[in-house]
Chain A
Amino acid sequence: MKRLIEGVPLRGLLLLAVCAVLLIAAPYFVSDYVLSVLIIVLYFAYTGQAWNLMIGFAGLLSLGHALFVGIGAYASAALFIHYGIGPWAGVFVAIAASVAAGCFIGYLGFRFSIHGVYFALLTIAFAEFTGIIVDHIRWLGSTEGFFLPVSNRQTVDLLNLRGSQAMFYYVILGLTGAALVLCRLLLNSKLGYYWQAIREDQESAEAIGVHLFRYKMIAVAISSGLTGIAGVWYAFYYNNLFPESTFATGKSIEIILGPVVGGVGTLFGPILGAFILTPLGEVLTSLTEGLKIDGVKQLFWGACVAAIVLFRPTGLWPWISSLLGLDPRRDGDKR
């Protein structure tokens, strides 16, 4: 507990508490439409946080995180549809499967010293061909899609994750909060220090005793496991899964946009980025509805990323937090 809030200025804690209260109370005063947008925001905040753990903390670039969402989603959906096993049990299988996939990719990458952008290509390849494999598995619905039975959305059946929008909202809000706490604790632990050292300079890190392979694998395992959990939520929220849309590289890119805009390597960057991009994208889509412009949201997101890369390459959060006085860094000091 001490480590959780250590070094955070009081006004930062207050701001966080206000945001938390607002988010918890949101379902009681926003419209169904706004709630559905908030749900997507939180989904991207959570998956962005999970992705950020790999690239932002340990410096490992994945462009295939849709793979872990897909594995988690298909694993839990298959258990539910074929065997009637609920999501709370299925989530463990989903985590195990995602972590196994992550570790396999990590093993290939780190064992054979595939770095940086080549490692990213490896992650894309795995996501893409897993999509193609699922395309050909009838047991998983193949190209026609995999559907969960849609039930009454008014009653809340938390055990089977069947129920209203608000229930899904609270589940993803809880996950986002938990991921934030987890990442904060990890960053301020031996693991976090070792990850940052690896990110900054592998050779230096190794020379002072950091077992590169082990600590990179741990980063990949935690990140893929967290993302797999998001997959379970995704399957039960949307009730339908299609291989080409679930595993597509575009889906992976959507996950990384939030952290890139908000600030890679920061704790609040992924959350901030999701809260900026998703609502703006939604507004833009609804504004241009009559015009029937395909891909207007993607075009807008592309422009956002270009602007960030040009003007705030470290993302918005470091800038905003210093504007708000949340970052007590002075005269080049970081406290």
Chain B
Amino acid sequence: MTASAALSIRGISKHFRGLAAVTDVSFEVPAGAVQALIGPNGAGKTTIFNMIAGGFKPDSGAILLDGKPLVGKRPDEICRAGVGRTFQLVRPFNAMTVEENVAVGALVWTDDLDEARDHAVGVLRLLGLEDKRFALPGNITLPDRKCLEVARALATKPRLLLLDEVMAGLRPTETDRMVGLFRDLNASTGLTILLIEHVMRAVMALSHSIVVLHHGQVISAGTPEQVTRDPAVLECYLGEEAL
């Protein structure tokens, strides 16, 4: 089984009542790439994630994973198709231990609880959370809860991982650790990663390419170097001093 999947977004739009959240957005995430989706608050980034993961149905347009359409499928079907996601605000299963949280993710590909729990321990070890595995999510720190969110998504063995601001609220050293982790994962398994991120330090260190959204539209796309020199991006998002 390959760990990579290519994502193709073709002209998707989403309106909430009169508000156009996303308008005719298209971009490609090649298999094995790490791509960032950046832009100001309200640009439509999370809305796009929700459309990919099946939370919202786009009003128009197509979303393809390895050429197969995702639009119209339920979130759990999209997960089984190979898309793992994290939520911007962490949403752990609070009454279950850290290990049990992650094991639920692994149960998507196995019916054997022991196998799922073993896999969960492995994923937690990878993320440096192994010693917290019997803790309840309410009793660990926010960075650890963010890690748990990632661990749970990784346990489903995704081929495309959607990360929604997992670095937000982390200290720089923790950010660097997360960056290292995703870089290793991407290099060792070929896992395709699409991330929404405001922490430019992480975006620049991780991504092969960047898509910039503003008011629900793509205003720039390219390598990190190209995007950060784009006047349109500097004006609406990064600011002049980013250079």
Contact = CB atoms under 8 A, between A and B. Distances in A.
A201 B91 contact: yes
A118 interface: no
A208 B96 contact: no
A209 to B, nearest CB: 3
B79 A190 contact: no
A208 B136 contact: no
B135 A333 contact: yes
Contacts of B55: 203, 207
Given A188-B113, A333-B134, A208 B84 contact: yes
Interface string A292-335: 00000000000000000000000000000000000000001111
A208 B152 contact: yes
Contacts of A200: 92-96
5 A-B pairs closest in CB distance = A209-B108, A200-B93, A332-B139, A209-B79, A206-B75
A204 interface: yes
B107 interface: yes
A209 B85 CA distance: 11
Given A193-B100, A209-B79, A335-B97, 12 more contacts: A190-B107, A190-B111, A193-B116, A201-B93, A204-B87, A207-B85, A207-B153, A208-B108, A209-B108, A209-B156, A210-B104, A333-B135
Interface of A: 3, 188-190, 193-194, 196-197, 199-201, 203-212, 265, 332-335
A265 B96 CA distance: 12
Contacts of A204: 87, 91-93, 152
Interface string B72-110: 001110011000110100011111110010011101100
A197 B134 contact: no
Contacts of A203: 55, 75, 87, 91
| Most interface-central of B75, B84, B92, B139 (chain A CB within 10 A) | B75
A207 B91 CA distance: 11
Nearest to A198: B93
A205 B92 CA distance: 9
22 contacts: A189-B113, A190-B111, A190-B116, A194-B104, A194-B107, A196-B95, A196-B96, A204-B87, A204-B91, A204-B92, A205-B104, A207-B53, A207-B75, A207-B87, A207-B153, A208-B152, A208-B155, A209-B80, A209-B108, A210-B76, A265-B95, A335-B97
Nearest to A199: B95
Interface residues of B, number: 35
Contact of A197 (B74, B93, B113, B116): B93
A43 B39 CA distance: 61
Contacts, number: 94
A332 B135 contact: yes
Contacts of B97: 333-335
Interface in B136-154: 136, 138-139, 152-153
B165 to A, nearest CB: 15
A197 B113 CA distance: 14
A289 B165 CA distance: 66
A209 B105 contact: yes
B113 A211 contact: no
Contacts of A211: 74, 76
A208 B153 contact: yes
A207 B92 CA distance: 12
A190 B109 CA distance: 11
B77 to A, nearest CB: 8
A196 B92 CA distance: 11
Contacts of B108: 208-210
Contacts of A265: 95
B156 A208 contact: yes
B155 A193 contact: no
Nearest to A330: B134
Nearest to A206: B75
B135 to A, nearest CB: 6
B211 to A, nearest CB: 22
Contacts of B79: 206-209
A215 B105 CA distance: 15
Contacts of A333: 97, 134-136, 139
Contacts of B105: 208-209
Contacts of B92: 200-201, 204
Contact of A208 (B104, B113, B139): B104
A46 B176 CA distance: 54
Contacts of A201: 91-93
B153 A193 contact: no
A200 B76 CA distance: 16
Contacts of B113: 3, 188-190, 193
